[in-house]
Amino acid sequence: MTRLALVLAALSPAVAWHQPPARISRASAYAWPHVARAVSMKTDAKPAARALSEGSICEFDDGKGRPMLGLVQSAKPSSTKGVVYHLIDADERLHIVNAKAIHVAFPPNNKVKSTKPADLLNEFLRVAECKPAELGIDVSLLGLAWEMCAQEDVPAHTTAAIFDKIDPALLDGSVPKYRAYRLLTSDIGNIFFRVLHAHDHEHREYKAKTADAVANAKQSWCHAVEALGTAAVAEEFCFA
């Protein structure tokens, strides 16, 4: 081998090492096309919307900012709205809503033999009529759960993660889970937690507020309760 050939051979690794990154990236993409396709699929693919089954029980927004309960009659995929639902309420009125209007959903009520919407929704309607302090969950226990959640180095908590710190049995069944949802999204629940993903009932989570935010929210809530003349409700919580 000539001296010039030896010099070029010795320099070739260094030259290859200093090739511009763009050339290396293109070469890699052509060398391993299956890898490039896999990355593209993960980046661009969107999960298909999962529709609720017929008979599922939902709380939803009636379009005027009012929560209502209804049964899923049918679900139709939509390219712009995800899934469009036909829901029937306890008075057998039809509501057409998109997936973002669903607050919370539960499996069909197979324990009730009746097919009447009013009968199937009865237990849930009774929960919906309760004030936060009447839901059967001690507010002070929710405060303890908040303290433990606030100490954890996580961005948010699910309903199960919060109630695991109180009593997991409080989520045993669809009606108890609805009761927990009503508490966490109530004025009392908002003292301790901020609702995340409010328009995505499948992925709703709660972020524990800071101690200062809780103190301010509690003070505002207690003043409002006193102004309404319901100080008895506030005694156990506001003056604890």
What per-residue confidence (pLDDT) applies to 237?
A: 72
Averaged confidence pLDDT in the chain: 82
CATH 2.30.30 fits 57-112, yes or no: yes
In a 13 Å sphere around the CA of 150, the CA atoms on its Cβ side amount to 17
What per-residue confidence (pLDDT) applies to 76?
A: 92
Gyration radius (Cα) of the chain, Å? 28
What per-residue confidence (pLDDT) applies to 7?
A: 41
Q: Which residues of 50-85 are buried (b: 16+ CB within 10 A; e: fewer)?
A: ebbeeebbbbbbeeeeeebbbbbbebeeeeeebbbb
Question: What are the strands, taking DSSP E only, across 63-121?
Answer: 67-78, 82-88, 94-98, 102-106
pLDDT tens by residue, 54-91: 999 999 999 898 999 999 999 998 877 789 999 999 99
Number of H helices, E strands in the chain: 10, 7
What per-residue confidence (pLDDT) applies to 26?
A: 36
* Residues constituting the chain: 240
Residue type, 87: L
- For a pLDDT cut of 90, what percent of the chain falls above it? 58
pLDDT tens by residue, 83-126: 999 999 999 999 999 999 999 999 999 988 899 999 999 999 99
Helix H or strand E encompassing 206: strand 205-208
Q: Please say if the pLDDT value at position 140 is more than 50.
A: yes
What pTM was estimated for this model as a whole? 0.76
Q: What residue segments make up the domains of the chain, in order of their start?
A: 13-42, 57-112, 132-238
